């Protein structure tokens, strides 16, 4: 999915559902932050009491799926596996066509030559049941899980980034489908209702406002493809969103560019020195940057457990931010 879509597509979906503009914009920033933290990252020297801060890697800028990046971060953030769905399709294909020997092996019996490659069972599929289960994990745990409650917006925004990445980049039809799915996911999060794990019988099809904006987006996106640069494409997004919010809501809520806003807020709240020392650790932990990275760390550790349960222990996606929430 495109970097502009993660922010503007999520923002527009929130506005379509009449989510308060500031909340919609914050969720969109969390979804867009995933793009900004793809490897390679600019190294930070931040630390507190000799404990360094490690920004979470949320993917890689290259498109080689066999290069999974640091901590196998592509699997966790940009190529989320569909697991059983792909397995069912592959087994059916194996019965019809010779080959696909890997599918016939239990996941725990992968040979050494396959440990550095991505098994077919870990193929990403758009809008998979597992991807919706991932979103439901936030919705369910926000009711009772203290740590998730503290970062529910950040975690849901982070996982919207992961969810949206299951759609392919190259087809504008996929982007429009992804936008509708984002609306559905936000609707469920807004009302504390779990997503259905399959099917397209969404309440979004009955929402006149969502359907109207969906048609406008579908009509606009072919123009985006023909637009030569990202600045011009961003203007098209802004012009569309401007019809559904106040002009001041489109302006950055800090003096920094959007791609630096989280970092600058963290620097200010944490009173971080030029040497990187975080002088106000409790205030630093209130920053959107910290909340996003805490959520991203939770996500990739949660995903590592799901991989382990399915026998893919060789792909350890766990990452540590360096702090635990107090």
Q: Which residue has the higher pLDDT, 105 or 68?
A: 68
Higher pLDDT, 117 or 266: 266
For residue range 20-37, list pLDDT tens digits in order. 999 999 999 999 999 999
| Domain parsing of the chain, residue ranges | 3-82+124-309
DSSP-assigned states of every residue in 256-323? S-GGGHHHHHHHHHHT--TT-B-S-HHHHTTSHHHHHHHHHHHHHHHHHHHHHHTT-TT-------S-
pLDDT of residue 112: 30
Q: What is the pLDDT of residue 38?
A: 87
Q: Is residue 138 predicted with pLDDT exceeding 60?
A: yes
Amino acid 173: pLDDT:
79
Residue 96 in tokens: 């019809």
Mean pLDDT along residues 40-64: 84
Q: What is the pLDDT of residue 243?
A: 87
- Tokens, residue 179: 């936008």
pLDDT of 102 reads 27
Does position 5 have pLDDT exceeding 80, yes or no? yes
Q: What is the pLDDT confidence band of residue 257, given thresholds at 50, 70 and 90?
A: low
Mean pLDDT of the region 35-50: 83
Q: What is the pTM of this model?
A: 0.86
pLDDT, residue 108, reads 34
In the structure, what pLDDT confidence band is assigned to residue 200 with cuts at 50, 70 and 90?
A: low
**pLDDT the model gives residue 103:** 27
SS3 172: helix
| Per-residue pLDDT at 107 exceeds 80 | no
Check residue 84 and give its pLDDT: 67
Q: What is the pLDDT of residues 151-191, one digit of tens each?
A: 999 999 999 999 999 998 667 778 888 999 999 999 999 99
Residue 249 has pLDDT above 60, yes or no: no
3-state secondary structure 48-113: ECCEECCCCCCCECCCCCCCCCHHHHHHHHCCCECCHHHHHHHHHHHHHCCCCHHHHCCHHHCCHH
The residues facing 81 across adjacent strands are 124
Q: State the pLDDT confidence band at 113, using cuts at 50, 70 and 90.
A: very low
pLDDT of res. 262? 93
Res. 105 pLDDT band, cuts 50 70 90: very low
Report the chain's mean pLDDT, rounded to a whole number: 82
Q: What does the pLDDT average to over 112-123?
A: 60
- Exposure class string for 186-209: b at 16+ Cβ within 10 A, else e: bbbbeeeeebeeeeeebebeebee
Q: Taking Cα atoms as reference points, which of 222, 68, 58 lies closest to residue 154?
A: 58
The residue-averaged pLDDT of 291-296 equals 96
Pairwise pLDDT comparison (111 vs 127), residue with the higher score: 127
**Range with top average pLDDT, 50-64, 249-263, 279-293:** 279-293
Residue 92: the pLDDT is: 33
pLDDT computed for residue 301 by the predictor: 95
Average pLDDT, integer, range 7-23: 94
């Amino acid at each position: 999915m495109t970097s502009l879509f993660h922010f503007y597509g999520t923002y527009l979906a929130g506005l379509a559902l009449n989510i308060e503009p500031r909340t919609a914009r914050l969720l969109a920033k969390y979804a867009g932050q995933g793009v900004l933290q793809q490897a390679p990252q600019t190294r930070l020297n931040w630390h507190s009491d000799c404990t360094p801060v490690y920004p979470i890697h949320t993917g890689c800028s290259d498109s080689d799926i066999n290069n999974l990046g640091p901590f196998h971060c592509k699997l966790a953030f940009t190529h989320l596996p569909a697991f059983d769905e792909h397995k069912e399709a592959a087994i059916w294909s194996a019965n019809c066509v010779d080959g696909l020997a890997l599918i016939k092996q239990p996941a725990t019996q992968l040979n050494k030559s396959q440990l550095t490659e991505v098994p077919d069972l870990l193929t990403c599929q758009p809008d998979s049941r597992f991807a919706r289960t991932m979103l439901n994990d936030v919705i369910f745990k926000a009711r009772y899980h203290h740590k998730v409650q503290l970062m529910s917006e950040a975690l849901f925004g982070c996982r919207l980034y992961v969810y949206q990445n299951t759609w392919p980049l190259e087809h504008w039809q996929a982007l429009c489908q992804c936008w509708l799915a984002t609306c559905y996911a936000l609707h469920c999060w807004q009302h504390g209702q779990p997503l259905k794990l399959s099917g397209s019988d969404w309440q979004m099809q009955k929402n006149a406002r969502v359907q109207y904006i969906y048609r406008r987006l579908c009509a606009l996106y072919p123009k985006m493809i023909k637009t030569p640069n990202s600045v011009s494409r961003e203007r098209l997004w802004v012009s569309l969103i401007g019809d559904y919010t106040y002009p001041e809501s489109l302006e950055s809520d800090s003096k920094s560019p959007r791609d630096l806003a989280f970092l600058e807020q963290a620097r200010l709240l944490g009173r971080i020195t030029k040497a990187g020392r975080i002088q106000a650790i409790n205030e630093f932990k209130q920053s959107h940057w910290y909340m996003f990275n805490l959520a991203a760390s939770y996500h990739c550790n949660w995903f590592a457990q799901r991989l382990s349960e399915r026998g893919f222990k060789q792909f350890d996606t766990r990452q540590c931010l360096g702090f635990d929430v107090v």
